[in-house]
Amino acid sequence: MYLGFPMGDVGGGWGTALGTLAALFARERTGESQRVDVSMLDMLVSFQAHLGQMYLASGEVPEPIGSGHPSNIPAKAFRAKDGTWVQVHCSTEPFWFKLVELVSACVPGFEALAGDERFKTAGGRMAHRSELESLLADAIVTKSADDWAALFIDWDVPAVPINNIADPQVQARSMVVEIDHPTAGTFKTAGNPIKLGQEERFSPPPTLGEHTREVLREIANFGNDEIDAMEARGAI
């Protein structure tokens, strides 16, 4: 399945940043330099986390399961009556029983679900995954996401509607910020996920060549005359 976003690219950047910081810290302590070598492929392997370890331990290649989980059942997104998706994660026995009791009590036609022998154990739920997920899909679609959200809270069930970036908590964490760009105007972008207790300032992405002279002068140590000559030749 095509990834929803470029994890290799993003992960490569994060891995390189982390490796660079680790190398700088090591140099402060030992005086020795290090070469940071990060591959996007390596990052993707590490991001497999427990799924990759399950393959290495069992030799079984995991199959695509959408929003579900290979061993935690039920743990999946279901569409509510208003079209909003609701994520349910009730893989442990106590939470499963709370969920099934909620559905049996509050969804007409599903009164017998709590007593269904197929789903009383984790092994049974695993063996009958498709039947269980189909039943839950039929139940969840009978109410709106807001109705389910209230019921989940009342019944202490770990399930919630899936939010988007406009969620109030995202705003409260300053994870959507506005930036003034010299040509594009004001636009919104994601904030900094690493909070360090300092005032946050965000600069717009540079226009093409905006910092070329600055980089050549301050980092590459070229003089202004040399930079002018490169510009005259069309080298920059």
CA torsion, ordered 39, 42, 44, 49, to nearest 10 deg: -150
Residue 102 to residue 33: CA distance in whole angstroms: 59
The owner of tokens 């569409």 is 79
Beta strand 85-89 pairing with 75-79: antiparallel
Clarify whether 9 is annotated catalytic. Answer: yes
Residue 155 to residue 104: CA distance in whole angstroms: 12
Residue 182 to residue 56: CA distance in whole angstroms: 51
Are 23 and 34 within 8 A, CB to CB?
yes
Are 75 and 68 within 8 A, CB to CB?
yes
Catalytic residue, from 9, 154, 167, 228: name it. 9
Residue 79 to residue 73: CA distance in whole angstroms: 17
Instruction: State the catalytic residues.
Output: 9
